[in-house]
Structure 1
Amino acid sequence: MQLAPGLHRLGNDIIAVHLVVTDEGITVIDTGLPGHHADLRRELAAIGRPMSDIRGVVLTHGDSDHRGFAERLRRELGVPVLVGAGDADRTRGAKPPATPKDAMRIGPTLGFFAYAARKRGFRVPPVREVLPVDDGDVLDLPGAPRVIGMPGHSPGSIAILVPAVRAVFVGDELTTRSVLTGVSGPQPAPFTDDQATSSASLDRLLGLDVDWVVPGHGAPWHGDADSLVTAYRQAEATRR
């Protein structure tokens, strides 16, 4: 699905994958679960672009529902997989720490795990070779993505600013729909390592000149980053 010229989305509000499509090639932002690879092939066929146009993968963090088919692309196409330095080990398969228990409702939680099962989410291969990136790096990939360090959800979580499509991809630093409760609106994402640090990291989005703020779970936010952070803070204050 095309969100805007050059900005494509695979999957749904439960788990999403995004593509930055340019004349020079394609950058994949997060790779969902292994079963999303078929969605990728269908999307590329629909827009008339071959798989060989993919130049690289950038992961917002190393959790299994974001690295899904990254190893397959690395192995089959020889493209680099880039991730925040603090999440390199997690992307290679290191077990993340236990996180505090999150609120949940039976229906949305079962829906999340059922969808994950359909997309082969219970056996996600580690990425054998990753390239660590750091805050401020501008990547030599289509769209010239810029890395914004956003620790909190995980130690190496990053946001990825792509001015070419006027979007910033924030991974799980926030969500606009909780996969565990079904509640919509900007809010903390479940399974976060350090929620206080995650919340503080959102200030790094303020002032960005974008039309889209794109989480890994939930609907993309079509608007400026400041309005999203304001909505998040208002919801945060209500929860206290």
Structure 2
Amino acid sequence: MNKVYPVNVFLIEDNGLTLIDTGFPGSADKIFAAIGKGGKKPEDIKRIILTHAHPDQSGSAAEIGKRLKVPVWAHRIDAEILEKGIGGREPKILGPGILSFFLYHIFIKNSSGVVDPIKFERKLEDRDSIDIAGGIQAIHVPGHSLGQISLLVKNESVLIAADLCANFIGLDMSTVSEDHEVSIESIGKVSRFPFDKAVFGHGNPIMRNADKTMKAFYRKLQLV
């Protein structure tokens, strides 16, 4: 988590650790320290899965991948730009609300969008099955980023939503998107899956009835 702009990364434990997202550039040692506090070692990481290309999720992937000699996976579309060291596309459409306004103008507007180029072992597609933790389904959810994925950990009934939404003070649209209407469509797509809990790239988890909360948020967006 960045001290100023909070970014969440996640670990899935199953025959080692799978790291979901890697934070901003320079976050490797912070992530390793957090893993140590949890009783594990950085060397327990067996792979990295990126939910999308933006530097707050992909920024340390190249460094961690090289240091630990582990593979990196992402959706094919965002992998194609990350291979070139590009961490985002234009346009950046500002989300609604005063919080989005301040986060965009303080942290995002003048960011370079450059990351260290990443080599990918696997490029995911929509509905791909990942043989970890009893089966994880990749769900392509463009809008915020063209190649963004959410990850449904079926046996745990958990959705790793990425930046499909933010959840600082209730569900809201992400700070920026490439296509606002497509973002809403992606929220609707995910809301049709069953999951009890949801975690987000930014903000707090939902620990009960998360699918119902997502459906209600989608219906609200349709009325706007």
Relative to the length of structure 2, the TM-score reads 0.82
Aligned partners of 1:187 and 1:235 also within 8 Å: no
| Selected match of 2:122 from 119, 131, 139 | 131
**Structure 2 residue aligned with 1:75:** 66
Q: Give 1:160 shift.
A: 0.6
| Selected match of 1:63 from 51, 54, 75 | 54
Aligned partners of 1:70 and 1:127 also within 8 Å: yes
Identical pairs, percent? 26
Gaps of 5+ in 2: none
Task: Identify, as 1 or 2, the structure richer in strand.
Answer: 1
**Structure 2 residue aligned with 1:109:** 103
**Structure 1 residue aligned with 2:145:** 154
Secondary structure of the residue aligned to 2:130 is coil
Q: What is the rounded CA distance, in whole Å, between the counterparts of 2:195 and 2:176 in structure 1? A: 27
Aligned partners of 2:51 and 2:148 also within 8 Å: yes
The aligned length equals 218
Taking structure 1 as reference, are residues 36 and 144 closer, same or farther at Cα in structure 2, changes over 3 Å only? farther
**Structure 2 residue aligned with 1:5:** none
Q: Are residues 1:211 and 2:196 paired? A: yes
Which deviations, in whole Å up to 9, do the C-alpha atoms of 1:43-80 show, x marking residues without a partner? 22122212121111111111111102111121112211
| Selected match of 2:37 from 30, 46, 59 | 46
Gaps of 5+ in 1: 1-9, 178-183
Q: Give 1:168 shift.
A: 1.1
4+ residue runs over 6 A deviation: none
Secondary structure of the residue aligned to 1:221 is coil
Relative to the length of structure 1, the TM-score reads 0.78
| Selected match of 1:202 from 173, 178, 187 | 187
Q: What is the rounded CA distance, in whole Å, between the counterparts of 1:169 and 1:230 in structure 2? A: 16
Moved more, 223-232 or 195-204: 223-232
Which deviations, in whole Å up to 9, do the C-alpha atoms of 1:103-153 show, x marking residues without a partner? 545995389639xx9xxx986423244521011212244564221111222
Taking structure 1 as reference, are residues 214 and 111 closer, same or farther at Cα in structure 2, changes over 3 Å only? farther
Taking structure 1 as reference, are residues 210 and 112 closer, same or farther at Cα in structure 2, changes over 3 Å only? farther
